[in-house]
Homo-oligomer: A and B are copies of this chain.
Amino acid sequence: MKKEENFSEWYNEIVEQAGLTDKRYPVKGMNVWPAYGWKVMRHIDTFIREELDATGHDEVCFPLLIPETEFKKEKDHIKGFDAEVYWVTHAGLNELDIRLLLRPTSETAMYPMFSLWIRSHGDLPLKVYQLVNTFRYETKQTRSFIRVREIHFFESHTCHESESDAQGQIEEDFVILENIMKRLALPYLLLCRTEWDKFPGAYYTVGIDTYMPSGRSLQLGSIHHYRENFSRPFDIKYEDVEGNQKYVHQTTFGMSERLIGAVVGVHGDDKGLVLPPDIAPIQAIIVPIIAKGNLEEILESARHLADDLKAAGIRVQVDDSDERPGAKFYKWELKGVPLRLELGGRDIANEVVSYARRDISEKGTFSRKNVAESVSTLLAVISDDMRDKARERMDSSITTIDSLDNIPEKWLRFGWCGTEECGKEIEEAADIKILGSPYDKEEFDGKCLACGKDTNIVVYAARAM
């Protein structure tokens, strides 16, 4: 499994061998979450909940099935999803009067209820989110976590009195996002999508993109400002302080299990996964190094060590299986455990614990006495180092170009006049996708890659995974 030689093959093998997913389920693009993979996802979900709860969002849960009649209320929206939804047409032995679709996203499930929930300015802002699975009939080749047909994701939906209040929500979303991405040690860019690529029904869309070692971009999620685009067709109105009826301004923010796909792709290596400590189901694996005659002593010592680490809140496991140490090293490296602790007769005699980092080939020893503190500190260092390394790799991959000739397989940065004509010309000529211009404006003084006109607009582009 060589990541550099064939990223795609490496990725497909590693996710299954490490136990993140099982692709043998008999429906294409719908995979099973085995215990290990689901634990990683649940750690991510926990961070999402922490961040959203702390910013005053309420967790709710809306039905999966949406009536066709509601779905069709926002015209652009239905057009965007027409080819991608699953239709429930029969229940039991009956054909349904109104077809139901499996949520591809929950605007049209939630907004009829918002229109009942919101009466006055006192009900605003309304901030809710849910963590559910969503369904899209992908016609492109599927890939675990990255392009699947049943997708685990969160979606937050908010309603506000004004466009600027909604804008304030989007700024808050950026802070939430940064806190979550820190835990995953993932760098990203916030890019304002082009008009022809924004979410169906959105006023504007900010894509959250990361850079994959294959040279491609991966969209991890998005943040949308809807203005009144949905509140008008769904009649979500409030009475303002002067007694006037007004439409709310809405935003949404969502990210999916693609976060795991990014973690695998960005951090993994030829030995397998490298999991950021915050989402690793096992943060430290203890491998007893048994010599003849000292089995019981070593195992007991390993269990004490585990107890001390557990007491400090570290997720630790002792591998007391019959396999040889080398096989154990191989297994836990494949599964991406951030830290391996080894305990043999000599370690015990010297009152130390040997360690090996997963992210870099560093080995050393801790004093047994303060081991819990040392492990916690090192896990934090590993997390920071992983983040820095990934950020540097992403930054160094960004290549500013001023011509369509010899385009490298990198993240590209170039001038664009802003017209759809030139944008699409560039996309077609270079077989890339324009991801958009940075949300935090970058100073730029150059020329449009297509028409050559002077422009201040700079955009990022890449081939998509």
Q: Residues of A with Cβ closer than 8 Å to B?
A: 22, 24-27, 30-35, 38-39, 41-42, 58-67, 69-70, 82-93, 100, 102, 109, 112-113, 116, 128, 133, 135, 137, 139, 150, 152
Query: Which of A22, A88, A113 has the most chain B CB atoms closer than 10 A to its own CB?
Result: A88
Check if B113 sits within 8 Å of A65, measured CB to CB: no
Could you jot down 5 A-B contacts, CB within 8 Å? A32-B61, A35-B59, A86-B88, A87-B90, A88-B88
- One of B59, B82, B88, B112 near A92 (C-beta < 8 A): B82
Contacts of A27 in B (CB 8 A): 63, 65-67, 100
Contacts of A65 in B (CB 8 A): 27, 30, 86, 150
Contacts of A63 in B (CB 8 A): 25, 27, 30-32, 150
Check if A87 sits within 8 Å of B89, measured CB to CB: yes
Query: Which of A32, A58, A93 has the most chain B CB atoms closer than 10 A to its own CB?
Result: A32
Say yes or no: A60-B89 contact (C-beta < 8 A), given A112-B26, A113-B24.
Answer: no
Report how many copies the assembly holds.
Answer: 2
The docked-state distance in angstroms from the alpha carbon of A193 to that of B97 is 36
Residue of B at shortest CB range from A90? Answer: B87
The docked-state distance in angstroms from the alpha carbon of A333 to that of B404 is 69
> From residue A82, how far is it (CB to closest CB) to chain B in Å?
7
Q: Which 9 A-B pairs have the closest CB atoms?
A: A35-B58, A30-B63, A33-B61, A91-B137, A87-B90, A83-B92, A92-B137, A89-B89, A86-B88
Residue of B at shortest CB range from A70? Answer: B26
Check if B113 sits within 8 Å of A32, measured CB to CB: yes
Check if A116 sits within 8 Å of B24, measured CB to CB: yes
> From residue A202, how far is it (CB to closest CB) to chain B in Å?
22
Contacts of A113 in B (CB 8 A): 22, 24-25, 32
Contacts of A34 in B (CB 8 A): 58, 60
The docked-state distance in angstroms from the alpha carbon of A114 to that of B84 is 30
- One of B60, B86, B89, B93 near A35 (C-beta < 8 A): B60
Contacts of A128 in B (CB 8 A): 35
Contacts of A83 in B (CB 8 A): 92-93
